[in-house]
């Protein structure tokens, strides 16, 4: 089939960076084995896939609303597939409720996409499927950055989270496969790699071939030896597993981006226990302080859930206290809402009044906003080093600093894929604007 005659694939991706990478794998597999080219126009698509997320609010309701809209927009003969975490836990119920869906593929079964795409009614949702040694077709989206999964699944039992029920037990991808994938990406122009896992710093505890255990710190050391790779990022680590060896490697390894995501979830030890997070307020503060002491330019980002069932005003004030002490550079804030198949559903009798939850969320957002409005202008006049990734239509280049702060400046495509010095002339709460120093 010629390029002009190739089939068209439209993918809508919801949720986390792992879903983004899964969608890249889906597109690459379908290109290699079924000659599908991606399109951004749903009306042109021969195949429409929605890659779902169970973490977002009301995922089931929104899924059926979205696939209903897809069905009205698609051209005659086009197929619809549902993939991802919501697919994993709903399975055949998706086709039962929406018969125009052609196939369902769970988050743990992405490697099977080429096998099911032409099978009407196919359902592949086993969370015991092991894709840890499957070599996906090469995927390329951002020319200068590669995303590489280092594990599948999650062994944690956080009471608010459905992920272990949709992605199965944690299995690490062999380090040699990870390094080889990164080498290929670098050969193809990548300068930065993002290592992905539900809990990256528990990497190496279980391999499907029963090999000896291997640490995430060792993986970071091995990845940093790849010639031509300039920057390493990863998400998400778990505060419980941030041991001294990991923190010291993070601090001293010049290739590791000095921005770390530390999901707090709550500053209250009592709520952390109810969430089954495994650490205390004091442990989190200790780890954050050690990182701040060792890395002067460190940026720390986090996730926080307010109004978890049973959260008292005192518990909430513990969260505000941690925010004030750690001084997070970015917070992804959420008001608790129940998720199917989670243990927290049993705490319905302890749920917080919605109005109180909304007030707490607003208080947290405003506290952090004030901090950023105070801190970000302090960067005006400084010089930062930026890896340039994109050229905007308005003639601005954009990229990120070593500690992963976005920067914009006037420039041209000659700077793409290069590190440039930028003098900061303006700052918002989330980004910097500057002038390239030639």
Residue 315's closest CA among 262, 343, 356, 345?
356
Q: Report strand pairing: 7-13 vs 406-410.
A: unpaired
Residue 407's closest CA among 429, 384, 374?
384
> Exposed, middle or buried, 359 (CB in 10 Å: 0-12/13-18/19+)?
middle
Quick one: tokens of 50?
A: 């929605």
Q: Please tell me whether residue 47 adopts helix, strand or coil conformation.
A: strand
Asked if residue 83 belongs to a known ligand binding site, the reply is no
Asked if residue 259 belongs to a known ligand binding site, the reply is no
Rounded CA-CA distance 240/57 in Å is 26
Rounded CA-CA distance 86/309 in Å is 24
| Cβ-contact 351, 309 below 8 angstroms | yes
Whole-number Cα distances in Å, 179 to 19, 184, 187:
21, 9, 12
- DSSP characters over 358-397: HHHHHHHHHHHHHHHHHHGGGGTT-EEEEEEEEE-TTSEE
Rounded CA-CA distance 14/11 in Å is 10
Rounded CA-CA distance 149/195 in Å is 6
Question: What does the chain come to in residues?
Answer: 438
Residues 314-343 as b/e (b if ≥16 CB within 10 A, e otherwise) read ebbebbbebbeebebbbbeebbbeebeebe
Between CA 23 and CA 233, with CA 416 as vertex, the angle to 5 degrees is 50
Rounded CA-CA distance 136/131 in Å is 9
Asked if residue 154 belongs to a known ligand binding site, the reply is yes
Q: How many Cα atoms occupy the beta-carbon half-sphere of 354 within 13 Å?
A: 2
Q: Which residues are annotated as a binding site?
A: 16, 53, 85, 154, 158, 161
Q: Which residues are annotated as a binding site for [4Fe-4S] cluster?
A: 16, 53, 85, 154, 158, 161
């Amino acid at each position: 089939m010629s390029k002009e005659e190739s089939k068209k694939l439209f993918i809508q991706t919801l949720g986390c960076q792992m879903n983004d990478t899964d969608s890249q794998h889906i597109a690459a597999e379908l290109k290699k084995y079924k000659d599908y080219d991606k399109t951004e126009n749903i009306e042109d698509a021969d195949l429409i896939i929605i890659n779902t997320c169970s973490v977002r609010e009301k995922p089931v309701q929104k899924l059926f609303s979205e696939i209903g809209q897809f069905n009205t927009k698609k051209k005659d003969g086009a197929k619809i597939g549902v993939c991802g975490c919501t697919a994993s836990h709903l399975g055949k119920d998706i086709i039962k409720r929406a018969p125009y869906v052609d196939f369902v593929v769970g988050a743990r079964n992405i490697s099977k996409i080429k096998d099911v795409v032409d099978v009407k009614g196919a359902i592949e949702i086993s969370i015991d499927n092991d894709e840890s040694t499957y070599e996906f077709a090469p995927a390329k989206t951002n020319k200068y950055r590669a995303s590489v999964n280092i594990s599948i699944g999650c062994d944690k039992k956080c009471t608010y989270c459905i992920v272990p029920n949709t992605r199965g037990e944690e299995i690490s991808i062999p380090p040699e496969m990870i390094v080889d994938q990164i080498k290929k990406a670098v050969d193809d122009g990548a300068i930065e790699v993002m290592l992905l896992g539900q809990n990256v710093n528990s990497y190496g505890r279980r391999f499907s071939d029963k090999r000896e255990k291997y640490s995430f710190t060792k993986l970071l050391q091995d990845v940093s030896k790849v010639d031509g790779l300039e920057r390493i990022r990863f998400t998400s680590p778990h505060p419980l597993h941030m041991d001294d060896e990991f923190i010291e490697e993070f601090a001293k390894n010049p290739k590791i981006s000095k921005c770390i995501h530390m999901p707090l979830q709550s500053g209250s030890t009592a709520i952390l226990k109810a969430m089954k997070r495994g650490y205390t307020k004091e442990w989190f503060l200790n780890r954050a302080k050690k990182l701040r002491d060792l890395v002067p330019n460190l940026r720390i980002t986090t996730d926080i859930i307010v109004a978890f069932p049973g959260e008292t005003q005192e518990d909430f004030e513990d969260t505000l206290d941690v925010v004030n002490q750690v001084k997070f550079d970015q917070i992804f804030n959420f008001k608790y809402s129940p998720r199917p198949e989670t243990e927290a559903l049993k705490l319905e009798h302890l749920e917080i009044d919605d109005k109180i939850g909304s007030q707490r969320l607003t208080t947290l957002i405003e506290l952090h906003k004030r901090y950023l409005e105070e801190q970000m202008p302090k960067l005006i006049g400084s010089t930062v080093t930026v890896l340039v990734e994109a050229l905007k239509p308005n003639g601005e280049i954009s990229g990120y600093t070593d500690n992963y702060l976005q920067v914009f400046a006037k420039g041209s495509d000659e700077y793409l894929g290069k590190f440039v010095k930028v003098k900061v002339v303006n700052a918002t709460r989330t980004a910097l604007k500057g002038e390239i120093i030639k």
